[in-house]
Amino acid sequence: MVSLELAWCVNNALTGVREAIERVAAERPDLMVKKYACVEQCGLCARQPFALVGDDVVTAESPSSLAHRLLAAVREAERQPGPRELPPA
């Protein structure tokens, strides 16, 4: 299985995103967690907690809600095979 990347923007830290990321990472240590200076979601970054699961933006109104939504997004991404997971021809 290909490891999913969970990415977050350090500029979004004041919204509590770090708390959500730490909760998800504790529950899913198999995820690749990366902190970036910017993930080019500036309008969203100024308004609410968010993170990226692969290329998908996941938002919520609170860190607790974000943690739950991130875990759901990870489960959904794992159910959908990506191009890298297809068997060789």
Chunked in runs of 10, what are the mean pLDDT values of the chain (89 residues)? 83 94 95 94 92 95 96 91 51
Give CA angle at 44 (39, 82), nearest 5°.
55
Structure tokens at 77: 């991404």
pLDDT at 4: 86
pLDDT at 81: 65
pTM: 0.84
pLDDT at 1: 47
User: Distance between CA atoms of 18 and 77, rounded to whole angstroms?
Assistant: 21
pLDDT at 89: 47
Residue given tokens 């509590």 in the structure block: 16
If DSSP codes are grouped into helix, strand and coil, which group holds residue 35?
A: strand
Residue 57's DSSP bridge partners are 52
